[in-house]
């Protein structure tokens, strides 16, 4: 069955917000367990090559360019979001379930329910602030920070990947809404045209 990107027919069209892209079809895994349990942390590290972050609103990733690319995002004291390249998702699921066998833990594939919208532009934080209540000032939300919030009327998971690049995780069914909301916020931010 052919997979269809929720924004494939919109990204790259004339007039869209500059710096907007989609990372479709990534692997998305919800990991649940006790972060305070050393055995759980060790099992996750052995399976993924990186330990789950234990500090709220942070993430941990394998080194850039690693063959086994994975990012683990803190969601709650007992929950993490694991992002992988699509071709590595099944293997990571098996490795996690094997390493965590017998422990109080859960590994759930939610890949078909999410997509990632990326905004990479000098005005990214200002634009996102028009629809998101998070304080995105770099002193408060630095590179590597992540948080669940809303943009407009949809729930999102936001990750600051660099000074000017944000990855926004959103349900596929709300991707079109998010795209339109970003377009609307950009239009409101644009200076009015001068009269002749």
DSSP 176-193: HHHHHHHHHHHHHHSPPP
- Report DSSP state, residue 68: S
**Edge-to-edge strands, sheet with 27-32:** 59-61, 71-76, 79-84, 27-32, 106-109
Report the number of secondary-structure helices (H) and strands (E) in the chain.
Answer: 4, 10
- Residue 149 near residue 156 (C-beta atoms within 8 A): yes
Distance CA 90, CA 101 (A): 16
- Report DSSP state, residue 63: P
Q: Report, as an integer, the average pLDDT of 11-18.
A: 70
More confident residue, 137 or 190: 137
Computed over every residue of the chain, the mean pLDDT equals: 91
Give the HSE-up count for residue 167: Cα atoms under 13 Å, Cβ half-sphere: 18
Domain boundaries, the chain: 20-24+113-189, 27-111
Query: How much is the pTM?
Result: 0.90
Looking at 1.20.120.1200, 1.10.260.40, 3.20.20.150, 3.30.1360.120, the CATH number of the domain 20-24+113-189 comes to 3.30.1360.120
Q: Report, as an integer, the average pLDDT of 60-88.
A: 92
CB 9: neighbour CB atoms within 10 A?
10
Can you point out the beta strands (E) in 1-90? 20-23, 27-32, 59-61, 71-76, 79-84
Q: Is the pLDDT of residue 9 over 80?
A: no
27-111 is a CATH 3.60.20.10 domain: no
- Cα angle value 115/135/177 (rounded, 5°): 30
pLDDT, position 15: 65
The end-to-end CA distance of the chain, in Å, is: 54
Backbone angles phi, psi at 184, to 5 degrees: -65, -45
Q: Is the pLDDT of residue 2 over 60?
A: yes
């Amino acid at each position: 069955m052919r997979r269809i990107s929720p924004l494939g027919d919109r990204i790259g069209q004339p007039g869209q917000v500059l710096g907007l892209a989609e990372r479709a079809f990534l692997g998305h895994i919800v990991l649940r367990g006790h972060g305070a349990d050393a055995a759980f942390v060790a099992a996750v590290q052995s399976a993924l090559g990186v330990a789950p972050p234990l500090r709220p609103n942070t993430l941990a990733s394998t080194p850039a360019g690693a063959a086994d690319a994975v990012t683990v995002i803190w969601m709650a004291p007992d929950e993490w979001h694991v992002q992988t390249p699509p071709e590595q998702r099944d293997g990571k699921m098996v490795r996690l379930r094997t390493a965590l066998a017998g422990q109080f833990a859960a590994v759930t594939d939610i890949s078909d329910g999410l997509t990632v919208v990326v905004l990479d532009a000098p005005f990214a934080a200002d634009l996102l602030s028009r629809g998101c209540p998070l304080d995105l000032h770099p002193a408060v939300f630095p590179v590597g920070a992540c948080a669940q919030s809303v943009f407009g009327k949809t729930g999102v998971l936001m990750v600051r990947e660099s000074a000017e690049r944000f990855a926004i995780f959103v349900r596929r069914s709300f991707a079109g809404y998010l795209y339109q909301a970003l377009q609307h916020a950009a239009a409101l931010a644009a200076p009015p045209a001068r009269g002749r």
